[in-house]
Amino acid sequence: MKGKTLMSEKPATVSDTVNGATAAANTDLLSGYGEGGRQEPLVLGGVILKGKIGEGGVAGVHLGWHTRLKCPVAVKILKEPSPTNLPMFLREARLTVSVDHPNLVRVFDVNVEPQSGLHYIVMEYVDGCSAYQLLERQLAQHHRPLTQASALEIALCTARALAAAHKAGIVHRDVKSDNILIRSRDGTVKLTDLGFAGQWRQQDCEGLPRRSGVVGTLGFISPELLGGEAATPAADVYALGATLYELLTGRLPYGVPYDDSYYARQLAGPPAKVRELMPAIHEDVAKLVERCLERRPEHRFADGEELAAALEQVLRKVAGTRVLAAISAETADAAERPVVLCVDDDAAVLELMGDILEAQGFQPVCFTDAVEALASVERIKPDVAVLDLNMPQVSGVQLCQGLRQVDGFRELAVLIVSGDDKPGTIHDALERGITDYLVKPLNGQELVVRVRLLTKLRAMNKERRVIETQLLRLKSARHPSRAGACVGVPRQAQSA
């Protein structure tokens, strides 16, 4: 398990026992709906519940349909309205409503259902995945963490949300990749879950029980919070730095195991350098992450606004002069990006290639293993392939030939990249079916130009096939007796 959420424990009281019985009744009320167990759908405040989509320590999250707004919503329902949980639950709604920002999940309503006593919050539904789920998917499918551009854009949008919260005097206190949501439709990033948030400019929150002990999630809690100091915006900066470290490297700063021994490693010294784990990471990116993870809060970025400014500057340097953020809320773009299959046994070159293409609006899918890339082609459906020429198991030319034998990829455009600039080698590759050839060392601008041209070639070939199909259909309509021959029906089928 990656991490665990921590809250201070308190002795059970009589009211807890009563509320525990209420929670059990609430569980019975909620069980089975949307799964064939209930004949009537459960309705809360004009929201028809469809089914559970998430589970937290104090509340469950359910998908619902808002009958008045005519849109899907997320409904967070409190499990146990204890003297600790209920104020925290209501505070989450109040604090979220008090900050309006496009990168924060919005709250539409907070209420209690009179008959059942269920406390609930109706929130914006983000149809997509968390940043952690995105990382897991990337590691499982492509065997690498997120590209620098994607990780930085996710962090930038989150920092902007934190900047708005910090200006309102709110510290999140549980920033982590699980609490950063990414909408699949347009890549919009949303920070959620202000359940542990506090008003850092006040000594205490009115009407709330005081809590002692550590609050947050293992791996993302800053050293000063572990030492018992009060939370400030710098604690959120540390947590977002740990999140960015995870997205860039695939692990938390102090490594496995993710248990109580993690704290001992955290307090013993600095984490492993980002570039020690991923040498292709840009030096300025590594420095930014290291500053976020400084042991003393005064050595970090002061708050979300200062961090966002630094992230934007580094992102522009890493991604060139492109308009920021295909994944950002400000410039979300739902257009489909061309998929580029990249295969190179040199992981550093592959990382660089992926970052360059990602920054220019392509969707790179990268492999160091040519055999695995060939086995995955039907799943990833590339528009263009960029292949290293000399690889241990299969050469780039052999891989090209294998890819084109897969149904649907006979005309796949293939660009070879190689340090071999001998005319004979280039001529041989082109004679054996390679579409284009680019000599290393890699020139980013030239790579993008070549891939863009090959993408256009792919689009033209698709359009040509559509026209050819339409002409065949038109010809068949004019000569129905010869329709079989026109559409390519096998001779034996015609003679039968």
In single-letter form, the type of residue at position 127 comes to D
In this structure, the strands spanning 339-343 and 71-78 are unpaired
Helix (H) or strand (E) holding 111: strand 107-112
CA distance 486 to 369: 42
Peptide bond into 253 cis (omega under 30): no
For residue 339, list its beta bridge partners.
363
State the Cα–Cα distance between residues 71 and 198, nearest whole angstrom.
31
Catalytic residue, from 28, 127, 174, 383: name it. 174
What are the residue ranges of helices labelled H in 187-329? 223-226, 233-249, 261-268, 274-277, 283-292, 304-319
Q: How far is CA 195 from CA 83, 90, 388, in A?
A: 14, 9, 49
Q: What is the DSSP string of 44-100?
A: ETTEEEEEEEEE-SSEEEEEEEETTTTEEEEEEEES---TTHHHHHHHHHHHHHH--
Q: What is the largest CA-CA distance in the chain?
A: 91
Provide the 10 A C-beta neighbour count for residue 444: 15
- Which 8-state DSSP code applies to residue 480? G
- Reply yes or no on whether 174 is catalytic: yes
Residue 70 Rama label (left phi>0; alpha psi -120 to 50; beta): left
- Angle at the Cα of 314 from the Cα atoms of 310 and 319, rounded to 5 degrees: 145
Contact 76, 112 (CB under 8 A): no
Q: Whole-angstrom Cα distance, residue 239 to residue 224?
A: 12
Catalytic positions: 174
